[in-house]
A = this chain, B = another copy of it.
Amino acid sequence: MVRPSIVLFGDSITEEAFGEGGWGSSLANHYSRSADVVLRGYSGYNTRWAGRVAGRAVATVAGAVAAVTICFGANDAALPDRASAAQHVPVGEYRDNLRAICAMLQRRWPGVVVILVTPPPVDEDGRRRYPPYAHDYSGLPERTNAAAGVYARACVEVARQCGIRAIDIWSRMQKFPGWEKSFLRDGLHLTPRGNRVLFEEVVFALKDANLSLEALPADLPLFGDMDPDNPAKSFEDEGEWAEC
């Protein structure tokens, strides 16, 4: 039987999930014997583009998808009159796109647990220091925390309306003093500590959806459960070589 998988669908916050201390790596490590973590992150994408390609993106995923995280909004929230205007999507359209993406994934993977993740908060100072944004013609940040917050609230609202889970990482992170530099590497993308916060939230949401470590069977006998005097006993049902 194919192992269940957890698909991570999103923008750069997702594409970078296997970088240093990444939340995707931590998930893969957490579920090392029970579930596969499948990366479908597309840096720079907003929901308009993600919506267009969502069908193609999920068609590249094989196997039994048990859960999917959807994290978009950081690019949609780029301001329409600043350096990253090409990525901007109005919040009303963001809401519609997000709803359509969720519906499409639920049709494609019936019974899948969908977890919407809001964009993270923005540290405008950190963003300004980070080239090429530091050299922007206006000197003004192309993303603001207030704008990201509007999209985060829209994301939570879509989740509530659709009856699916949401992780409000925008609010959650700002509860920690010093979140700006502690959790964000360049004012937008996550540090290893920021990744840990998101990892914990995802683990909690999966547990809430009955996809905890305890709920999923471990693939093959654990070494610690074997009889040290007769470990081969654990494999008696496995047949012989010829049957492989």
Structural contact, B64 and A220, CB atoms closer than 8 A: no
Q: How far is the CA of A171 from the CA of B146 in the complex (A)?
A: 55
Q: CB within 8 A of A32: which of B33, B39, B64?
A: B39
CB nearest neighbor in B for A54? B244
The segment out of A13-21, A131-139, A179-187 that lies at the interface is: A13-21
Interface size on A, residues (CB 8 A): 63
The segment out of A43-51, A152-160, A203-211 that lies at the interface is: A43-51
A121 located at the interface, meaning its Cβ lies under 8 Å from any Cβ of chain B in the complex = no
Structural contact, A231 and B2, CB atoms closer than 8 A: no
Using a CB–CB distance below 8 Å, which chain A residues touch chain B? Answer: 1-3, 5, 15-16, 18-22, 24-26, 28-29, 32-33, 36, 38-45, 48-49, 51-57, 59-64, 86-87, 100, 104, 219-220, 222-224, 226, 228-229, 231-232, 234-235, 238-239, 241, 243-244
13 other A-B residue contacts (CB within 8 Å) besides A2-B61, A3-B60, A86-B229: A15-B33, A18-B26, A18-B28, A24-B25, A43-B223, A44-B224, A45-B223, A48-B232, A49-B232, A53-B235, A54-B244, A55-B243, A86-B228
